[in-house]
Amino acid sequence: MLAYSRRYRRCTTCGPLLRTTAVAVPDPARSRKATLRPCTRRATEVPITEFSAGRKRARVCCSGEMPDEAGRLAFRRRGYELKPYAGRFRSPSELAVTDSVIISQEADRLKEIYRALERHAPTLLNFDCRVYVRVTAAGRQLQGRERTTVVNAIRRLRLPGAGLTRAEWSTLASDQRECEKLPLAPYVYICDSSLTWEDIAQVIAENPAGEPPNLDLSVDAVDAKGKKIKVPRERWLLLSRAFPDCNAVHLSKMQDGLSGGSVYRAYAEVKGVEGTWPATYFVKMGSRTKIATEYDHYQTHALKYIPFNLAPRLALDRCGLGAREGVIVGDFVEHAEALKDCASSGRAIHAIGTLFSRTLGAWRNAARTDDVRSLPQALSYLLPDSIDIPDERKALIRSLGGTPDLAHIRELLDRCDAKPILIGTIHGDLNASNVLVRFSDAILIDFKQLKEGRPLLYDAASVEVGLLVDGFAADRRDVQEWLTSIEPLYDSHEMFEWRIPCHPKDPSAWFFDCVRQVRLHARQLELKKGQYATALAVAFVKKSCNAHMFYDRRDTLRAAAYLLGERILEFVVAEYSKEIL
């Protein structure tokens, strides 16, 4: 199971997703009392619990040194059975009942710890077994090399680490830095040489492994076209941990997005339930870091501030992480369609209003003013120097009359210096596929790109850009004819007024209606003229930089997005450089 939140830690009974209650060990000289923290859950916050028959994972294995008699007693008092660990002889059924494995470092064989972690850690973590590495207490002669060897092994093997100092944590690759002080389980935890067996037993007891994997679970999967696909071993283990109470899970892959994760509609046959009707969930699997990030965003922002019917609720006890990958499971949003699919039929106007007034209402109400940064500075992370437009798309941009040069775009953005701006929490990827419409409700999904302290105007701009790029994907008009039809929306620096209306019989009329509704709400978020236009230009250019080539009309639409973004910036700079920017 995963961790609960950035602010709170959970104890043994509070679950459901675990973040270790032991903090990093910044200094071996610190007292043992300072190393461990008790559960911070207040008595008034304890949830309703069921009577427990005991631990479901009561085995702790030791590789290398075994505890002395006092250490054995410490584990027995906490309900654990100690066993020696010989990794290659451990069957899946034995690993399923193992809570933790303690690997003791040997002073005369420091580098052996790398081979031990390489051989055993990935499998153990995939079974949700915690790995604890006891740093040898060899004295001064090693000059700290014993701990450095363990940290280097975690970094080189790209394993999730815990018990790290601030300096050690900063040496990890960016995709290994899930959380500095409250690491997400399962992990490889470094036990400093100052910790006794009693201390280690307490850390293990406060951070128990999750539900044993269901080794009898039957999993079958099909892709978006109904063709059978194979589920990799690590993902099957994640599913067996996510659905321990089920006999079978059928996965139907949904249309791939561009975020790198695989999303499925899951039909789970729950044990002991009368009848054969399955429970329905959404299941998202991907890299451990991305899944952990999205889970944290759900917990800290989505579930707390978005009305319950306007975002999927996570099944907290079904989310989990492995060595390299992770899974989040939640309620499947029934009887809904993507905003891009209903907009062209003229059914999105009320949903767009709900999106900004209700779904995003709490984030907007908590907004604050930033007097220091300009809007381009606050959005600079979207167009870093490391990204570029795909070469094939550059040719499309030139054919439309644009200049595919991001350096030129950045120069224009540097001249858009209007302050102050309104900042707060934003979804960060509010495209027309991440907003689902059910009647007049606008339901948000996919919170991986959520950001704090960013311009609220960017979400509004993302909706408009997403509708243009995705909503016209099935439009078969000549691209120049299509551009001419939407040109009145982007032919000046003024985004909130256009003199030429769109005739109802024009195939672009639905887009004008949607844009009018989006800009009605965006206008309330603009503190200086030209800010929404600038945010819109950034969103357009960002869309054109997507590295994925579709080899269909979607590439042409992304090329047109760059053209519109460039044109808008030139209008803004030309018209407002003296007056407001």
Cα(459)–Cα(536) distance, rounded to whole angstroms?
A: 10
- Whether the upstream peptide bond of residue 232 has omega within 30° of 0, thus cis, is no
Cα(559)–Cα(281) distance, rounded to whole angstroms?
A: 36
Specify the residue for token string 């590439």. 555
Torsion, CA 351, CA 354, CA 360, CA 361, rounded to 10: 170
Of the candidates 175, 240, 182, which has an alpha carbon nearest to the alpha carbon of residue 4?
A: 182
In angstroms and rounded to an integer, the radius of gyration of the C-alpha atoms of the chain is 27
How confident is the model at residue 37, as a pLDDT? 38
Calculate what percentage of the chain has a pLDDT beyond 90: 67
DSSP 508-534: THHHHHHHHHHHHHHGGG-SSTTHHHH
**Collapsed DSSP state (helix, strand, coil) of residue 84:** strand
Predicted confidence band of residue 483 (pLDDT cuts 50, 70, 90) = very high
Cα(93)–Cα(101) distance, rounded to whole angstroms?
A: 15
Residues 6+ apart with CB under 8 A from 427: 360, 434, 444, 447, 449, 450, 459, 462
Q: Is the pLDDT of residue 45 over 50?
A: no
Task: Give φ, ψ of 264 to 5 degrees.
Answer: -130, 155
Which tens digit of pLDDT belongs to each residue from 404-426?
Answer: 999 999 999 999 888 999 999 99
Cα(214)–Cα(86) distance, rounded to whole angstroms?
A: 23
Cα(376)–Cα(239) distance, rounded to whole angstroms?
A: 42
Which tens digit of pLDDT belongs to each residue from 493-535?
Answer: 677 776 667 888 999 999 999 999 999 999 999 999 889 999 9
How confident is the model at residue 48, as a pLDDT? 59
